[in-house]
Amino acid sequence: MHMQTYTASEAKQHFGHLMDAARQHPVKIQKQGRPFVVVLSEETFEALEDAYWILQAKEASEEGFVGVEESTAILNQLRKKNLNNATKSQL
């Protein structure tokens, strides 16, 4: 993907243009000739964040992690077992 690139000085001088461009596509800002940050729209950021969390959930599922409902059920069973054990030891 080819991105429009600004130097840090250009970004300061043309901040309004940079923001307009970032609404259309990510914009790279260089500092001292090296890539420093990328500016992107809120919509693009949210899409990337959603994709990241979907990937994390998929990987966790493939590795055998359980979901919220299953975790709650397991914890409830353990609590009940511990409560029963505590009650028996008091008798």
Same domain? 87 vs 46: yes
Over residues 12-41, mean pLDDT: 96
For the chain, the average pLDDT equals 88
For residue 1, pLDDT beyond 70: no
Same domain? 29 vs 47: no
pLDDT in tens, 29-55: 999 999 999 999 999 999 999 999 888
- What would you measure as the largest C-alpha separation in the chain, in angstroms? 78
Query: Residue 25 sits in a domain of what CATH number?
Result: 3.40.1620.10
Provide the domain count of the chain.
Answer: 2
In terms of Cβ atoms closer than 10 Å to its own Cβ (0-12, 13-18, 19+), residue 27 is: buried
Q: Which domain range does residue 11 map to?
A: 1-40
Over residues 63-74, mean pLDDT: 80
